[in-house]
């Protein structure tokens, strides 16, 4: 079986490596000619020097070549880059096939979750073929085959089963979950909370502060997701609480590290440049706040992160505002 993999960033290379290690032929597409040449010649990704690409994986900047004969498409682009890539696929007149998303986010302006972005561009014929995986998983650890578990979600139960079979290994366990909306919202919103936790860490506020942000952050994530139609328990699972626990606790998370850099005095632009990768929480918080206002659902942590990033709210003032909010009974 041939797999067309869209993207050769950290997560894209890691999961491409996983799939190729299972014996699948993986052709990864990238827009970076230099990286493409390096990967084909040396088999080494600059972020994973100890883990060369398997022999049955190859790399190309030619999207049509990557798609030729592919049975499966796997995506690791970005939330903002998904639509432009899907438009390229539309121009190439691809036929419906298993399409697995690994990016996490909510598209700005349209407010669509990423599976629906694919359907919006490629058409309803693709709906039953589109799915996603989400959950607590760092690329650096997955490529080392450190054990972890994630969930697979799709509108079609057969598609969920295929995704589980495709990705499951003895060290990468994939659970089925039919709540497409809940899985998408959990994976997207936790990145915003991770930025807040990173800021707290950078301000040396300690473990208690981060635990409080994670708990209250999960609460506001759940309120919004349920209002959009997800199951409450989904946010208590791997794509919700599991991903929050991981992303909000370590500088291995680019969203957490982004928050740390802000607390250390970098501007958002400087922090992004230093990280050198997309920080999805900075993108997603715009749409999350917009949706929360449309539905009249208070999301104080999300709103504060937005104000810090886009309205230049001082961090000291941000903390004061959160801690001086009217106290209400805790409803879970």
Is residue 332 very low, low, confident or very high in pLDDT (cuts 50, 70, 90)?
Answer: low
Evaluate whether 224 touches 299 at the Cβ level (below 8 Å).
yes
In this predicted structure, the answer to whether residue 159 has a pLDDT above a threshold of 80 is yes
In this predicted structure, the answer to whether residue 263 has a pLDDT above a threshold of 90 is yes
- Per-residue pLDDT reduced to its tens digit, 270-312: 999 999 989 999 999 999 999 999 999 999 999 999 999 999 9
Give the catalytic positions in this structure: 190
pTM for this entry: 0.95
> What is the CATH code for 181-323?
1.10.1040.10
Q: Is 181-323 in the same CATH topology as 2-178? A: no
| Domain spans of the chain, in order of start | 2-178, 181-323
> Among 8-22, 288-302, 315-329, which stretch is predicted with the lowest mean pLDDT?
315-329
> What is the CATH code for 2-178?
3.40.50.720
> Among 87-91, 116-120, 316-320, which stretch is predicted with the lowest mean pLDDT?
316-320
- Per-residue pLDDT reduced to its tens digit, 95-148: 999 999 999 999 999 999 999 999 999 999 999 999 999 999 999 999 999 999
- Per-residue pLDDT reduced to its tens digit, 206-251: 999 999 999 999 999 999 999 999 999 999 999 999 999 999 999 9
In this predicted structure, the answer to whether residue 329 has a pLDDT above a threshold of 90 is no
Q: How far is CA 124 from CA 88, 90, 93, 129, in A?
A: 17, 13, 14, 10
CA dist., res. 276 & res. 97, Å (int): 32
* For the chain, percent of residues with pLDDT exceeding 90: 97
Mean per-residue pLDDT over the chain, rounded: 96
CA dist., res. 175 & res. 161, Å (int): 9
Is residue 205 very low, low, confident or very high in pLDDT (cuts 50, 70, 90)?
Answer: very high
What are the φ/ψ torsions at residue 153 (nearest 5 degrees)? -135, 145
> Among 14-18, 145-149, 318-322, which stretch is predicted with the lowest mean pLDDT?
318-322
CA dist., res. 141 & res. 253, Å (int): 12
């Amino acid at each position: 079986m041939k797999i067309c993999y869209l993207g050769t960033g950290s997560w894209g290379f890691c999961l491409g490596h996983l799939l190729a290690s299972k014996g699948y032929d993986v052709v990864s597409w990238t827009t970076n000619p230099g990286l493409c040449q390096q990967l084909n010649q040396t088999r080494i990704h600059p972020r994973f020097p100890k883990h060369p690409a398997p022999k049955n994986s190859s790399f190309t900047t030619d999207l049509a070549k990557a798609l030729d004969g592919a049975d499966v498409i796997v995506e690791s682009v970005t939330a903002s880059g998904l639509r432009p890539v899907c438009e390229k696929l539309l121009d190439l007149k691809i036929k419906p096939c298993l399409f697995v998303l690994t990016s996490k986010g909510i598209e700005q302006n349209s407010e669509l979750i990423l599976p629906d972005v694919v359907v919006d561009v490629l058409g309803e014929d693709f709906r039953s073929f589109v799915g996603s995986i989400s959950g607590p998983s760092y690329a650096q650890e997955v490529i080392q085959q450190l054990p972890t578990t994630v969930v697979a979600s799709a509108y079609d139960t057969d598609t969920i089963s295929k995704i589980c079979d495709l990705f499951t290994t003895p060290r990468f366990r994939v659970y089925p979950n039919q709540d497409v909306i809940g899985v998408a919202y959990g994976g997207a919103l936790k990145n915003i909370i991770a930025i807040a936790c990173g800021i707290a860490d950078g301000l040396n506020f300690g473990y208690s502060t981060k635990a409080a942000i994670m708990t209250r952050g999960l609460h506001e994530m759940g309120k919004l997701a349920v209002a959009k139609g997800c199951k409450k328990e989904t946010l208590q699972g791997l794509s919700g609480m599991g991903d929050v626990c991981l992303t909000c606790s370590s500088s291995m998370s680019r969203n957490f590290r982004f928050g740390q850099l802000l607390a250390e005095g970098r501007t958002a632009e400087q922090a992004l440049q230093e990280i050198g990768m997309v920080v999805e929480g900075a993108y997603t918080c715009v749409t999350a706040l917009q949706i929360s206002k449309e539905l009249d659902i208070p999301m104080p942590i999300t709103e504060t992160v937005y104000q810090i990033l886009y309205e230049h709210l001082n961090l000291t003032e941000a903390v004061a505002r959160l801690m001086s909010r009217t106290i209400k009974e805790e409803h879970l």
